[in-house]
Amino acid sequence: MLNFILRRIGYGVLILLGVNLATFVLFFTVNTPDDMARLNLGGKRVTQESIEKWKSERGYDKPLYLNRQASGTQQVTETIFWERSVSLMALDFGRADSESAGDIGHEVGARMWVSLQMALPLFVLQVIASTAFALLLVMFRHSRLDFWGVVACVLMLSISSLFYIIVGQYLFSRVLKLAPISGYAPGLDAVKFLLLPVGLSLIARLGGEARLYRAMFLEEIGKDYVRTARAKGLSEQVVMFRHVLRNALIPIITSAGSYLPYVFLGSLVFESFFGLPGLGAYVIEAIGKQDFAVVRTMVFVGSLLYIATFALIDIAYTWVDPRVRLS
């Protein structure tokens, strides 16, 4: 186990370095520090002096990758890539590039809790609802319930999340007045603002997850151990919950675990439409402002979360199935 963890840490560091380099190269292939300065200063009609001042204040007055000395040699230090990469790997996110934004670490810490308030209940409800719905369809397979359940899953998959948001806001906020259309309040008052986005996001994801789990369960019920369990006289409920569900936990953990980084990073679409000041809205704002510091930080945090999540998923396999060994 220790060797596995150490090896995963080594792989993770290499992946983070690669993601960091790729993000840096792609961003500055499209934009230059001068373009970033013009955008943040209010357009093209700005003086070169103000551009240079903006770049100097934010550390963009240095070379991007390599610093050529008079002797012709090249050094890595005192370049934008080196300085930003060292601080990023040390989890020092620095300050945002836009005028109105402040310390990135403080913003991430504050907005993370808003995203968690929405995404953690959504994650738990998603796993429970998708698993229960899929088990119900499998227990009544080849029946009308199974047929119309699959039809409902396909319909939910075919409809865009934007449709759920627009219809949900109109129906539950405008017509029925059951929930605010947007906004956020701290404390217990946040519940009334989170109920609608959590419910709509659950419906938007239920079709795909339930259909996937149904396919997993159908594959399991055709195996020999299920036929043996039925031959012993066990009821269908016992067979499904004690045997089929348990043996299908590995793909379920894989599918559900891959959703965990979303829990921390938040939903870009739902947070923006419902005015929730979470990480998803923070990323959308940064992209609109071409705030490289924030975008790069969030890409880095997302990569870090995915690396940690899939390492935890592999460890969870050994708990679900004792036959799995990490070597």
Residue 25 lies in a domain: no
Same domain, 243 and 185: yes
Domain assignment of residue 185, given as a range: 104-320
User: Nearest CA to 118 among 173, 19, 194, 40?
Assistant: 194
Which tokens sit at 206? 């239920």
According to the model, what pLDDT value does residue 71 have?
46
Rounded (10°) angle between helices 190-221 and 144-158: 130
Same domain, 160 and 282: yes
- Which pTM value belongs to this model? 0.78
Q: How many domains does the chain have?
A: 2
Q: What residues in the chain have per-residue pLDDT under 50?
A: 70-71, 76
- Tens digits of per-residue pLDDT, 130-165? 999 999 998 888 899 999 999 999 999 888 888 999
Residue 235 lies in a domain: yes
Same domain, 154 and 85: no
Domain boundary among 92, 114, 141: 92
H or E segment at 184?
A: none
- Tens digits of per-residue pLDDT, 254-278? 887 777 777 667 677 888 888 888 8
Rounded to whole angstroms, the Cα distance separating 212 from 146 reads 14
CATH label of the domain that carries residue 279: 1.10.3720.10
Same domain, 73 and 191: no
Query: Scanning the structure block, which residue is given the tokens 């039925």?
Result: 230
According to the model, what pLDDT value does residue 147 have?
93
Rounded to whole angstroms, the Cα distance separating 34 from 279 reads 27
Same domain, 173 and 232: yes
Same domain, 87 and 111: no
Same domain, 252 and 156: yes
Same domain, 77 and 159: no
